[in-house]
Amino acid sequence: MSRQGIAGSNPAAPTNPSRFLESGFDLLAEHQHSAYAYLLGLYLGDGYIERHPRTSRLTIYLNRNRPDIIRSCAAAMFVVLPERRVGLVKHGENCIYVSSYSRAWLRLFPQHGPGPKHTRAIVLEPRQGALVRLHPMNFVRGCIESDGCRHRRIVNGKDYPACSFDNRSEDILTLFTWACGLIGIRGRRAKASTISIARRADVARLDAALEEPAFRPWGSLAEAVAFLGLTASHGLS
């Protein structure tokens, strides 16, 4: 791979804050790619971007009973836009908003628009597709952790583990199935809005991936393993 990297990114490019905020996606460096793929999955699963007069806010809705996922989401936002603070706001009994303000979110996630995602076309730009191909497991994990679950299913009286992703957008379901195919995992349509992953080997592979960091930490986060809800035994470096 050249130093220019994927989709026009440049790991050696200066990270001047004002220039980064103006250019958005174009200045994502290589160390930010896996965090972006994960955050893209979270956003498509259960996130939205709200416009404000001089900025915009990316918000991801998460279950407050999953602090590990909340930490991973906050860390991904921080890695993608390190110049911006990440906020956590309790919403109701079981929900946490993870959010960050920046004009750059509009460029980083061009799928934003008026109304729910299932009412409009959701198509990845070529540079986004390139990063999902590079880090498909991160994208799949982001989708499942925001709008999916691991559950049990009963077949002929036997109890089997399974994973599923639920979304009302046909386009997003198609993207999820495509990304699963990139890592050799078969997803099947369980119902109109649900993709199920039920083969034992596929579930085992997802389980193994979910035990690892959601993305490869960078900078100070590479040492702050407690921030990601991990232990030093994971050997992050």
In order, the DSSP letters of 21-46 are HHHGGGG--GGGHHHHHHHHHHHHHH
Centroid of chain to Cα 214: 9
pLDDT at position 79: 92
If one counts every other C-beta atom within 10 angstroms of the C-beta of residue 66, the result is: 14
- Residues pairing with 203 in the sheet: none
Centroid of chain to Cα 231: 22
Residue 109's contacts (CB-CB under 8 Å, 6 or more residues apart) are 40, 43, 49, 58
pLDDT at position 14: 34
Structural domain boundaries in the chain: 6-234
The answer, yes or no, to whether residue 63 has pLDDT greater than 90, is: yes
Assess contact for 48 and 89: CB atoms under 8 A.
Answer: no
The answer, yes or no, to whether residue 90 has pLDDT greater than 70, is: yes
The answer, yes or no, to whether residue 237 has pLDDT greater than 60, is: no
- The Cα 23–Cα 65 span in angstroms is 36
Residue 169 phi, psi (nearest 5): -85, 120
H and E: helices and strands count for the chain: 8, 8
- What's the pLDDT band for 47 if we cut at 50, 70, 90? very high
Assess contact for 86 and 99: CB atoms under 8 A.
Answer: yes
As given in the structure block, the two tokens for residue 68 are: 């590990």
- The Cα 197–Cα 156 span in angstroms is 18
The answer, yes or no, to whether residue 160 has pLDDT greater than 90, is: no
Residue 176's contacts (CB-CB under 8 Å, 6 or more residues apart) are 140, 143, 165, 167, 187, 195
Q: What is the pLDDT of residues 107-127, one digit of tens each?
A: 999 999 988 999 999 999 999
Question: Among positive and negative, which fits the CA dihedral 14, 15, 21, 26?
Answer: positive
Centroid of chain to Cα 174: 16
pLDDT at position 19: 39
Q: What is the pLDDT of residues 181-220, one digit of tens each?
A: 999 999 999 899 999 999 999 999 998 988 888 877 655 5
- Answer whether CATH 2.70.180.20 is correct for domain 6-234: no
